[in-house]
């Protein structure tokens, strides 16, 4: 049985786009009075985005596969746990945009934190239900833990500090491995962006300024990011020796750890609403910067520009 990473990024990007689009014409509300016109528009947008993304995910991924009674599946040894970090990052970012959107609608702070911040968890829980009733997969306890961790990271910081001092981000660079397994890692560039874990990096970005005294001159837009990636994977748990009648070289599966500065796009000050919208919409992406990486094969390595 081939167990591949689900393309949840497609559906989550659609949901993020919906959350951003509905508040594109104005900034987040500062008042505590609910604007029911905005709230209704937001509710319809979320419901529509959720229905479209889940329906699309079902027909693209689950239709045609045999169904079963609800079951659990242990996939914690797959993809060097890249998919788990991806789940946490998705839950965190969807929760962040959800909070933004509900504050834009005038929802009180704590309600926006709990309701908006939980959208990512609710969204990904549906994916786990789909998996749980699939005979070829099953709901993953590792995924559930990751979903909870990403949601807790957002909600916990917002309750404690009323801001996000630590964030989870994503970046991608093209890898050489998908040519050996295009069925699993992507037959083209767009599919590879979503499915090839060899090219993905997930980042824990810390904002030093938010931990320093107010008089500190450290730039508030400058973050320090710790990254995790993996390479050498042409299969989920292990690498096959051939595909479609062709031999696959014996790659070494390895984790990669990174350190890099980052630009916090949400901290860039601008009065231009269109630019503010673009910066916020792209804030889930780690900005390409110089990086220092370490893995057991290449040891320490400096990248002048790491994507």
**Which pLDDT score is estimated for 59?**
79
Token pair for 28: 């987040």
What pairs with residue 67 in β-bridges? 134
**Residue 30: its pLDDT value, please?**
47
- Do the Cβ atoms of 147 and 72 come closer than 8 Å? no
Give the position of tokens 């790491």. Answer: 306
Angle at 48 between CA 42 and CA 54, to 5 degrees: 130
pLDDT tens per residue, range 110-132:
999 999 999 999 999 988 998 89
172 bridge partner residues: 200
The full 3-state SS of 61-123, as one line of letters, equals HHCCCCECCCCECCCCCCHHHHHHHHHHHHHHHHHHHHHHHHHHCCCCHHHHHHHHHCHHHHH
Cα dihedral 148/92/174/187 (nearest 10): 60
**Calpha distance 72→137 (Å, rounded):** 8
- pLDDT above 90 covers a percentage of the chain that reads 73
| Dihedral class, residue 205 (left if φ above 0, else alpha if ψ from -120 to 50, else beta) | beta
pLDDT attached to residue 57 = 78
Residue 231 in contact with residue 197, Cβ under 8 Å? no
State whether residue 28 is helix, strand or coil.
coil
pLDDT in tens, 73-110: 899 999 999 999 999 999 999 999 999 999 999 999 99
Question: In the predicted model, what is the mean pLDDT of the chain?
Answer: 89
Secondary structure of residue 47 in the 3-state scheme: helix
Report, as an integer, the average pLDDT of 274-282. 93
| pLDDT at site 2 | 42
Bin 79: left if φ > 0, else alpha if -120 < ψ < 50, else beta. left
Give the pLDDT score at 19. 62
Residues of 209-240 as b/e, b for ≥16 C-beta within 10 angstroms?
A: bbeeeeeeeeebeebebebbbbbbbbbbeebe
Sign of CA dihedral 93, 117, 166, 163: positive
Query: pLDDT class for 136, splitting at 50, 70, 90?
Result: confident
Q: How many helices (H) and strands (E) does the chain have?
A: 9, 8
Look up the pTM and report it. Answer: 0.90
Q: What is the pLDDT of residues 26-73, one digit of tens each?
A: 545 445 689 999 999 999 988 888 888 888 778 777 777 788 999 998
How confident is the model over 179-215, as pLDDT tens digits?
999 989 988 888 888 889 999 999 999 999 999 999 9
Q: Among residues 284, 231, 226, which one has the least CA distance to residue 257?
A: 226
**What are the residues whose beta carbons fall under 8 Å from the beta carbon of 43, sequence distance 6 or more?**
none
Q: Is residue 281 within a helix (H) or strand (E), and if so which, with residue range?
A: helix 273-281
- Mean pLDDT, range 15-29, rounded to an integer: 54
For the segment 119-147, the average pLDDT, to the nearest whole number, is 91
Residue 10 has pLDDT above 50, yes or no: no
């Amino acid at each position: 049985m081939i167990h591949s990473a689900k393309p949840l990024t497609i559906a989550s990007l659609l949901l993020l786009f919906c959350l951003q689009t509905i508040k594109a014409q104005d900034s987040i509300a500062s008042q505590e009075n609910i604007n029911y016109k905005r709230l209704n528009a937001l509710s319809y947008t979320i419901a529509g985005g959720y229905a479209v993304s889940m329906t699309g995910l079902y027909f693209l991924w689950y239709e045609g596969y045999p169904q079963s009674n609800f079951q659990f599946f242990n996939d914690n040894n797959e993809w060097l746990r890249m998919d788990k970090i991806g789940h946490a990052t998705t839950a965190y970012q969807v929760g962040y945009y959800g909070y933004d959107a509900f504050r834009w609608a005038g929802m009180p702070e704590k309600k926006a934190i709990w309701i908006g911040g939980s959208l990512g968890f609710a969204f990904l829980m549906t994916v786990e239900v789909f998996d749980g009733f699939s005979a070829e997969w099953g709901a993953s306890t590792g995924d559930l833990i990751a979903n909870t961790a990403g949601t807790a990271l957002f909600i916990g910081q917002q309750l404690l500090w009323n801001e996000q001092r630590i964030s989870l981000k994503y970046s991608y660079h093209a890898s050489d491995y998908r040519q050996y397994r295009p069925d699993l890692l992507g037959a083209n560039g767009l599919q590879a962006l979503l499915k090839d874990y060899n090219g993905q990096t997930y980042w824990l970005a810390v904002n030093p300024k938010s931990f320093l005294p107010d008089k500190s001159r450290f730039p508030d837009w400058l973050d320090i990011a710790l990254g995790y990636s993996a390479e050498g994977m042409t299969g989920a748990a292990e690498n096959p020796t051939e595909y479609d009648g062709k031999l696959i070289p014996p790659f070494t599966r390895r984790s990669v750890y990174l350190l890099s500065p980052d630009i916090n796009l949400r901290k860039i000050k601008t009065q231009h609403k269109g630019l503010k919208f673009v910066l916020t919409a792209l804030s889930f992406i780690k900005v390409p910067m110089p990086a220092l990486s370490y893995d057991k094969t290449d040891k320490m390595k400096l990248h002048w520009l790491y994507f």
